[in-house]
Amino acid sequence: MTTQKSERLEIRSSDDVVRVRQLTRTLAIAAGLGLVDQTKIITAASELARNTLDYGGGGFVLAEQVEAVGRRGVRLTFEDRGPGIPDINAALKDGFTTGKGMGLGLGGAKRLSNEFSIHSTSGEGTKIMIARWK
């Protein structure tokens, strides 16, 4: 896999969540994703950026336009140093929330992505990678 373009954005405020969406859109267009795929990756990015801010206390995203075996796409890696997710399987189920939301964020982001991985350690933080391919 080769990275065509990458940018790291801090996530410290609601304005940063907007910037994550804008950058994701720019990379998705550059990668040649169609409108439906653009919408899916932007929606997932928005959910994960908001979670990074609200539950992780802030962090960053590494946003990349990537190419692998003749296909192009966008890969986003969100990291925080928050409290971590004690039960990842429960957190991925629709309706699970530790806040006031509807509990669709993590599971929804997973469904909107072609690739999804999550690693979380209590007291150390969370790292989530998503990718959407053309």
Q: What ranges do the domains of the chain cover?
A: 2-133
Going 33 to 17 to 126 to 81, the CA torsion angle's sign is positive
* CATH number 3.40.640.10 is the correct assignment for the domain at 2-133: no
Residue-wise pLDDT for 2-52, tens only, equals 988 999 999 999 999 999 999 999 999 999 999 999 999 999 999 999 999
Residue-wise pLDDT for 68-85, tens only, equals 988 999 999 999 999 999
Full-prediction pTM beyond 0.75? yes
Q: 64: closest CA among 78, 50, 54?
A: 78
Which of 24-33, 49-58, 87-96, 120-129 bottoms out in mean pLDDT, i.e. has the lowest?
Answer: 87-96
What is the SS3 string spanning 19-80?
HHHHHHHHHHHHCCCCHHHHHHHHHHHHHHHHHHHHCCCCEEEEEEEEEECCEEEEEEEEEE
